[in-house]
Amino acid sequence: MKIHIRNGRIIDAKQGIDAIQDIFIAKGKIVAIGRAPDDFQASRVIDADSLIVCPGLVDLSVRLREPGFEYKATLESEMDAVVAGGVTSIACPPDTDPPLDEPGLVEMLKHRAKSLNLAHVYPIGALTQGLKGERLTEMAELNDAGCVVFGQPDGLLPNLRVLIQAMRYASTFGFGVWLRPQEISLTSDGVAHDGEVATRLGLPVVPVCAETVALSSIILLAKETGVKVHICRVSSAEGLTMIRSAKQQGLAITCDVTINHLHLSDMDIGFFDSNCHLMPPLRSSSDRDALRNSFTDGIIDAICSDHTPVDEDAKLLPFGQSEAGATGVELLLPLTLKWGMEMQLPLLKVLAKITSSPAEILGIDAGHLSIGSAADMCIFDPDYYWKVTPSSILSQGKNTPFLGMELPGKVKYTLVNGHVVYEH
């Protein structure tokens, strides 16, 4: 299959390209940009006039809900949603049931994903067996099975003795460790940010110090062990400050933020809207503004969707009993574009946060349009506004705080390894 993409505005942050050019694909790879190679006979021409052609998006947190939670979503439904969002590579947290702590489970997931022939799936291996925070997993074996990095699920950091050993062990093999900073003893049954809204609504809280206390442990242990650490889902201004100073000290530390936390604050909970029950919780508007502004100094490396499809019944409960999380892989591009427009940032920089930068964190060769690289691409119309409704999103989870909103950016084509896997 030879594809000629014509007249698109090509944006590739890694190579610093932002220009209207043609792009040529053969045997699943990009063979030329600008002029066609000799004897190039396209079997398909895609007219990308007034569209943007960028590397396929890389999402650092997408829950496919397999194995174990097929009633919430299945691999099939969620992989359709992934490519509909222009995403071509995803990292999957290990908090499945059973957790991804054995090579067999990882191989099964990779195999199932591969047979669908849609996006690339990169399982995050469990850092400890059963994610219980007691015993280390067979990280090297898991790596052979396909795990590139290792982590713990939300709010379940191992005790510090286990954590430091896990970091040492991972760094032995050069594996990255991904952690979401949340000190469990400061959290208990908390569901909301420790601020005016939780005080008014009488909701149990997850204070900012639960994030910063955990963050300080992680940073100090990372310094001690020299492991590559990725901070998942930073939510507070204070947390950002700590990461900034760790980076300034030269630590191998990266971090991401979710699309939800870039746009929303605890005020959006309104009258107990369980779609705004997220983890980490939506924080104050000053925290949100700090997250929105911190991209310019490069403290936040990536934006992820933290895609968590939740079944309707689990949301139709009192706020504190409802399940945390929001569907979002299809909103990653629109909400990132919306943030970029509101902050008046150049598209090249904006798209870097969902393409080249997360690819580097994940340690994969993706997120760029270099000649000879796999043709994983997203072609979208930046000026097309669409309304988020249960029927306009493919994910089996319809739970998002953005329901009913009009968002910019509609994916027209998604290509993986030179195949059109989605078109609108």
Partner 1 sequence: MINRNPQLDENGMLQHLLTTEGLPTSILLHILDTAESFVGVTERDVKKIPLLRGKSIFNLFFEPSTRTRTTFEIAAKRLSADVINLNIAVSAQSKGETLLDTVDNLSAMNADMFVVRHSQSGAAHLIANHVRSDVHVINAGDGSHAHPTQALLDMFTIRHYKKDFRNLSVAIIGDILHSRVARSQIHALTTLGVPEVRVIAPKTLLPKMVERLGVHVYHDMTKGLKNIDVLMMLRLQNERMQGANLPSAEEYFKYYGLTSEKLSLARRNAIVMHPGPMNRGVEIDSAVADGKQSVILPQVTFGIAVRMAVMSILAGNQV
Grouping H, G, I as helix, E, B as strand and the rest as coil, residue 214 is: helix
Distance CA 22, CA 128 (A): 47
272/384 with CB nearer partner 1 = 272
Q: Does residue 213 touch partner 1 according to CB under 8 A?
A: no
Residues contacting residue 250 through CB under 8 Å, at least 6 positions apart: none
Q: Of 220, 316, 363, 423, which one interacts with partner 1 (CB under 8 A)?
A: 316
Q: Does residue 184 touch partner 1 according to CB under 8 A?
A: no
**Distance, C-alpha 299 to centroid of its chain:** 16
196/289 with CB nearer partner 1 = 196
Distance CA 203, CA 193 (A): 9
β-pair type (17-26, 29-33):
antiparallel
Grouping H, G, I as helix, E, B as strand and the rest as coil, residue 367 is: coil
Q: Of 159, 296, 321, 389, which one interacts with partner 1 (CB under 8 A)?
A: 321
First to last CA, the chain: 20
110/263 with CB nearer partner 1 = 263
Q: Does residue 404 touch partner 1 according to CB under 8 A?
A: yes
What binding mask, one character per residue, do residues 234-273 give for partner 1 by CB under 8 A, x or -? ---------------------------------xx-xxxx
Binding piece for partner 1, criterion CB under 8 A, among 50-58, 152-160, 233-241, 311-319: 311-319
Contact between 142 and 103 (Cβ < 8 Å) = yes
Binding piece for partner 1, criterion CB under 8 A, among 297-305, 309-317, 363-371, 414-422: 309-317
Active site residue 306: yes
Q: Does residue 75 touch partner 1 according to CB under 8 A?
A: no
126/269 with CB nearer partner 1 = 269
Q: Does residue 54 touch partner 1 according to CB under 8 A?
A: no
Grouping H, G, I as helix, E, B as strand and the rest as coil, residue 322 is: coil
What binding mask, one character per residue, do residues 134-163 give for partner 1 by CB under 8 A, x or -? ------------------------------
Q: Of 98, 174, 318, 390, which one interacts with partner 1 (CB under 8 A)?
A: 318
Distance CA 262, CA 59 (A): 15
> Over the range 285-313, which residues count as b (16 or more CB within 10 Å of their CB) and which as e?
eebbebbbebbeeebbbbbbbbbbbbbee
Q: Of 49, 224, 313, 406, which one interacts with partner 1 (CB under 8 A)?
A: 313
Q: Does residue 320 touch partner 1 according to CB under 8 A?
A: yes
Q: Does residue 384 touch partner 1 according to CB under 8 A?
A: no
What percent of the residues of the chain are helix, what percent strand, and what percent coil, each to the nearest 5? Answer: 35, 25, 40
Q: Does residue 194 touch partner 1 according to CB under 8 A?
A: yes
DSSP state letter for 159: P
Distance CA 139, CA 148 (A): 9
User: Environment class of residue 196 by beta-carbon count within 10 Å: exposed (0-12), middle (13-18) or buried (19+)?
Assistant: exposed
Q: Which of 12, 154, 301, 306 is catalytic?
A: 306
Q: Does residue 220 touch partner 1 according to CB under 8 A?
A: no
Closest separation in Å from C-beta 209 to partner 1: 11
* Residues annotated as catalytic (active site), given as ranges: 306
- Residues in the site for partner 1, rule: CB under 8 A? 194-196, 198-205, 207, 267-268, 270-273, 313, 316-321, 401, 404
